[in-house]
């Protein structure tokens, strides 16, 4: 999955923007969200404004849908077994494999996916968006019930969301939920504001209000496991184990019969389920068994151990295509891209020249790699798009041309690769990326043959590889590219980039000077930045900050930084102001005063020291634990001083498309950002991926998960003859 880091949105600086994933969190509905207009009402017939198109042909058939116009009669004794990733828990806040069964199967939210991966109403009858684009008011159906017979109300959503936001719930994955964009969600989770300041409100039993920090499309996030309701009565009676099978109450088409952590999950039809009228909500299967995925899914499928199996290797795919399984082989969209991501090294090299990187992008011949290495499990592309992607027609990748590549390299002074150092290609371990090494070898061979560029492959362990791809510049990184994955986590305008803009979430990347890249690394590797300790005092010293005189350097720096940022912000274009001065968010000056007031009210030395540490991390680069705080005042000032106009533009365009309310509104800015990154060859697309799976005859409604989580989802649509 794409990991877009869960960092709260900025107050003043362009160093970061509001994030959706993760990430990767990333997200889009074929990459769209429903068509939304401020102050408009969307009726229960509204759906996503675009949908995916599954390809057919020699690669495999389009999987047959459950073609019922409305919910069919349950077929007594029917059972379907599916392999999916291990699930350690059914608690949706923990975000493991349960996303595959809880977003519409066991639990049903305000909105959900249909069989075309469109977002459609489920518990909601419609919504209104305020004129400022911040407050979404949802009305709920009054006929929906829990499996215990209780009505589903707005309180069940409110209590479920506050359960996740509870400061005591330290493992909740807020960035993978609508809560990532709810006003004051992170502040309350951190214990710094009261519950009533969170942008969630129960207007009445069947009206629920969500207020976001910035205008942001949230329908795509309302289908996720973290946005599901929890039965309020059960949550109150079993606050720590409501999700255990003995306590689990469902409002979806199925309920839990039995569950073994990391083992088998058995679901049976929920007799109290009431679906949306005139909409297909479920199939006719009585029992669905979810088994942990295995390393030999095709063999298990042939042995009759499962009715549905994902084809995970090229050898299995070729076997299925040529054998008796061909008639049971299906294909569906996978919204993901493999691409080369610039490594952001701290050493200067000829690869810093745009023309050299462009030559690399043009010299790569993708189709031979797709044919020989992927054996059909992908499609060649020079843009960040899959067939039918909303931005596909407007993206302009560098065209393949070996001759043009050679000329570019010659004009740059490196004809036939002479004078160029080895280009590093970073890949993951085989357990995580089985094809990575083969792809890198093929890329290296093409660069050697076409341009005379020597390459070296470096395999990183999973932690290292994730850090290289998602966490910004890394110490020791050499000039080269990471064989990265750009996947989409869910449906919203923020996924239009398909992961191409991942590097914009970190400082010191792309065209940043080497000094800024090194500064990012220095700031990130220490628990507290040593030069800042020398300047402001030592947070590790329990007596630091107890006397007001200890605050002199911090106070001086804070006031100077705030004055600079206020002046800088005032000079920026009007369209940037909502992202630089977010409505309802205290200004840096107000935040600083709040910290000072906390110190003044403190009654003990420990409390005074704690306030000092808070002030220290508000100004200086590090938060406790050695993590760079990119929102720190010193960091914001530094970033705004060194960033080029182009880099600032990219980050603001990114902020605008991530926070768009519709695909049509977001697409132009997404295109500008992605085209720029491809033009500069900081991000070089290689191919989009395809999913193949096997289905036993007589079963319809099987949906492979097109989002970053893979495998299968929408299990409630399964139907048997």
Task: Look at residue 40 and tell me whether its pLDDT is greater than 50.
Answer: no
CATH topology for the 57-69+89-281 domain? Dipeptide-binding Protein; domain 1 (3.90.76)
Distance, in Å, from the CA atom of 694 to the CA atom of 250, rounded to the nearest integer, reads 29
Distance, in Å, from the CA atom of 716 to the CA atom of 288, rounded to the nearest integer, reads 9
Does residue 103 or residue 422 have the better pLDDT? 422
Distance, in Å, from the CA atom of 581 to the CA atom of 702, rounded to the nearest integer, reads 46
Task: Look at residue 219 and tell me whether its pLDDT is greater than 80.
Answer: yes
Distance, in Å, from the CA atom of 288 to the CA atom of 254, rounded to the nearest integer, reads 9
Mean pLDDT of 542-549: 97
**pLDDT for position 624:** 62
Distance, in Å, from the CA atom of 16 to the CA atom of 654, rounded to the nearest integer, reads 10
Distance, in Å, from the CA atom of 638 to the CA atom of 654, rounded to the nearest integer, reads 20
Q: What is the pLDDT of residues 701-712, one digit of tens each?
A: 999 999 888 889
Task: Look at residue 136 and tell me whether its pLDDT is greater than 80.
Answer: yes
Q: How confident is the model at residue 322 (pLDDT cuts 50, 70, 90)?
A: confident
Distance, in Å, from the CA atom of 461 to the CA atom of 113, rounded to the nearest integer, reads 35
**pLDDT for position 625:** 62
CA distances from 428 to 165, 445, 458, 567, 588 (A): 34, 19, 9, 44, 41
Q: How confident is the model at residue 20 (pLDDT cuts 50, 70, 90)?
A: very low
Say what the pTM is: 0.86
| C-beta pairs of 587-596 under 8 Å, 24+ apart in sequence | 587/11, 588/11, 588/12, 588/558, 588/561, 588/562, 588/633, 589/562, 591/11, 591/618, 592/558, 592/559, 592/562, 592/618, 596/551, 596/555
User: If phi over 0 gives left and psi between -120 and 50 gives alpha, with beta otherwise, what is residue 326?
Assistant: alpha
Distance, in Å, from the CA atom of 711 to the CA atom of 344, rounded to the nearest integer, reads 33
Q: What is the DSSP string of 636-703?
A: HHHHHHH--HHHHHHHHHHHHHHT-SSHHHHHHHHHHHHHHHHHTTSEEEEEEEEEEEEE-TTEE--E
φ and ψ at 67, to 5 degrees?
A: -85, 5
Find, among 653, 685, 122, 639, the residue nearest to 379 by Cα.
Answer: 685
**pLDDT for position 626:** 61
CB atoms within 10 A of CB 194: 10
SS3 content of the chain, % helix, strand, coil (to 5): 35, 20, 45
Average pLDDT, the chain: 89
Task: Look at residue 538 and tell me whether its pLDDT is greater than 50.
Answer: yes
**pLDDT for position 715:** 96
**pLDDT for position 37:** 29
Distance, in Å, from the CA atom of 141 to the CA atom of 230, rounded to the nearest integer, reads 16
φ and ψ at 291, to 5 degrees?
A: -105, 150
Q: What is the DSSP string of 541-585?
A: STTTTSSGGGGHHHHHHHHHHHHHHHHHHHTS-GGGHHHHS-TTS
CB 685 within 8 A of CB 399: no
Task: Look at residue 207 and tell me whether its pLDDT is greater than 60.
Answer: yes
Which of 57-71, 83-97, 383-397, 591-605 shows the lowest mean pLDDT across its residues?
A: 57-71
Q: What percent of the chain has pLDDT over 90?
A: 74
Q: What is the pLDDT of residues 113-127, one digit of tens each?
A: 999 989 999 999 999
**pLDDT for position 17:** 35
Task: Look at residue 13 and tell me whether its pLDDT is greater than 50.
Answer: no
Task: Look at residue 601 and tell me whether its pLDDT is greater than 60.
Answer: yes
Tokens representing 398 are: 């560098």
Contacts of 289 (CB under 8 A, 6+ apart): 79, 80, 81, 82, 264, 265, 266, 267
Q: How confident is the model at residue 564 (pLDDT cuts 50, 70, 90)?
A: very high
**pLDDT for position 151:** 98
Tokens representing 169 are: 């719930």
**pLDDT for position 41:** 36
Q: What is the pLDDT of residues 633-672, one digit of tens each?
A: 999 999 999 999 999 999 999 999 998 888 899 999 999 9
Domain segments of the chain as ranges: 57-69+89-281, 521-642
Q: How confident is the model at residue 31 (pLDDT cuts 50, 70, 90)?
A: very low
User: If phi over 0 gives left and psi between -120 and 50 gives alpha, with beta otherwise, what is residue 279?
Assistant: beta
| C-beta pairs of 525-531 under 8 Å, 24+ apart in sequence | 525/475, 525/626, 526/622, 526/626, 527/622, 527/624, 527/625, 527/626, 528/616, 528/620, 528/622, 528/624, 529/620, 529/621, 529/622
Mean pLDDT of 203-219: 95
Distance, in Å, from the CA atom of 502 to the CA atom of 511, rounded to the nearest integer, reads 14
The SS3 assignment for 619 reads helix
**pLDDT for position 622:** 82
Q: What is the pLDDT of residues 427-476, one digit of tens each?
A: 999 888 888 999 999 999 999 999 999 999 999 999 999 999 999 999 99
Q: How confident is the model at residue 27 (pLDDT cuts 50, 70, 90)?
A: very low
Task: Look at residue 30 and tell me whether its pLDDT is greater than 60.
Answer: no
Tokens representing 646 are: 């182009």
The upper half-sphere exposure of residue 208, i.e. CA atoms within 13 Å in the direction of its Cβ, equals 26
**pLDDT for position 623:** 65
Q: What is the pLDDT of residues 47-101, one digit of tens each?
A: 333 333 333 344 668 888 998 889 999 999 999 999 988 899 999 888 777 788 8
Q: How confident is the model at residue 2 (pLDDT cuts 50, 70, 90)?
A: very low
Distance, in Å, from the CA atom of 629 to the CA atom of 7, rounded to the nearest integer, reads 9
């Amino acid at each position: 999955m794409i990991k877009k880091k869960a960092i709260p949105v900025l107050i003043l600086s362009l160093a970061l923007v509001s994030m959706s994933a993760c990430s990767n969190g990333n997200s889009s509905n074929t990459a769209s969200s429903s068509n939304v207009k401020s102050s408009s009402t969307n009726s229960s017939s509204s759906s996503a404004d675009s949908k995916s198109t599954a390809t057919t042909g020699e690669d495999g058939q389009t999987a047959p849908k459950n073609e019922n116009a409305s919910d069919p009669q349950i077929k007594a004794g029917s059972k379907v077994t599916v392999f999916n990733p291990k699930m350690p828990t059914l608690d949706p806040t923990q975000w493991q494999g349960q996303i595959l069964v809880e977003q519409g199967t066991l639990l049903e939210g305000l909105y959900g996916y249909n069989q075309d991966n469109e977002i459609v109403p489920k518990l909601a009858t419609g919504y209104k968006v305020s004129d400022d684009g911040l407050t979404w008011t949802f009305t709920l159906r009054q006929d929906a019930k829990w499996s215990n017979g209780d009505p589903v109300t707005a309180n069940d959503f409110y209590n479920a969301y506050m359960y996740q936001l509870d400061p005591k719930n330290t493992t909740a994955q807020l960035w993978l939920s609508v809560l990532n964009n709810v006003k004051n969600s992170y502040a309350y989770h951190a214990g710094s504001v009261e519950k009533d300041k969170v942008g969630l409100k129960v207007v009445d039993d069947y009206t629920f209000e969500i207020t976001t920090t910035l205008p942001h499309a949230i329908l795509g996030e309302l289908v996720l496991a973290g946005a599901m309701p929890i039965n309020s009565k059960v949550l109150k009676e079993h606050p720590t184990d409501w999700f255990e099978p003995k306590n689990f109450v469902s409002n979806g088409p199925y309920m839990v019969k039995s569950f073994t952590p990391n083992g088998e999950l058995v679901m049976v039809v929920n007799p109290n389920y009431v679906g949306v009228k005139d909409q297909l909500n479920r199939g006719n299967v009585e029992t669905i068994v979810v088994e942990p995925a295995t390393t030999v899914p095709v063999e298990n499928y042939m042995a009759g151990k499962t009715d549905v199996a994902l084809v995970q290797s090229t050898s299995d795919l070729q076997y299925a295509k040529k054998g008796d399984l061909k008639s049971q082989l299906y294909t569906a969209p996978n919204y993901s891209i493999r691409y080369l991501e610039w490594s952001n090294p701290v050493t200067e090299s000829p690869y810093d020249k745009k023309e050299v990187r462009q030559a690399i992008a043009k010299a790569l011949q993708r189709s031979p790699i797709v044919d020989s290495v992927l054996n059909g499990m992908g499609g060649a592309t020079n843009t960040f798009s899959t067939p039918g992607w909303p931005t596909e027609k407007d993206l302009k990748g560098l065209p393949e041309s070996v001759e043009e590549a050679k000329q570019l390299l010659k004009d740059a002074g490196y004809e036939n690769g002479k004078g160029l150092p080895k280009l590093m290609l970073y890949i993951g371990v085989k357990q995580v990326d089985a094809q990575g090494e083969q792809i890198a070898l093929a890329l290296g061979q093409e660069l050697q043959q076409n341009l005379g560029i020597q390459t070296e492959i470096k395999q990183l362990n999973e932690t290292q590889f994730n850090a290289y791809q998602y966490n910004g510049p890394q110490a020791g990184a050499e000039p080269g590219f990471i064989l990265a994955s750009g996947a989409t986590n869910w449906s919203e305008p923020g996924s239009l980039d398909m992961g191409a803009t991942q590097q914009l979430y970190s400082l010191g990347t792309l065209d940043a000077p080497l000094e800024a890249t090194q500064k990012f690394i220095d700031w990130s590797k220490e628990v507290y930045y040593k030069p800042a300790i020398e300047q402001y005092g030592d947070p590790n010293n329990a007596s630091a900050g107890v006397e007001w005189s200890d605050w002199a350097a911090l106070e001086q720096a804070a006031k100077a930084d705030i004055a600079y940022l206020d002046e800088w912000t005032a000079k920026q274009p009007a369209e940037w102001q909502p992202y630089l001065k977010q409505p309802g968010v205290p200004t840096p000056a107000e935040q600083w005063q709040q910290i000072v007031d906390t110190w003044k009210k403190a009654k003990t030395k420990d409390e005074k020291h704690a306030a000092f540490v808070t002030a220290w991390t508000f100004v200086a680069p590090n938060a406790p634990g050695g993590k760079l705080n990119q929102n720190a005042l010193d960091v914001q000032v530094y970033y705004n001083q060194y960033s080029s106009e182009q880099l600032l533009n990219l980050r603001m365009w990114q902020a605008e498309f991530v926070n768009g309310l519709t695909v049509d509104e977001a697409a132009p800015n997404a295109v500008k950002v992605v085209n720029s990154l491809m033009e500069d060859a900081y991000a070089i697309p290689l191919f989009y991926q395809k999913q193949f799976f096997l289905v036993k005859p007589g079963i319809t409604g099987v949906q492979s998960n097109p989002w970053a989580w893979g495998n299968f989802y929408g299990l409630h649509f399964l139907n048997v003859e």
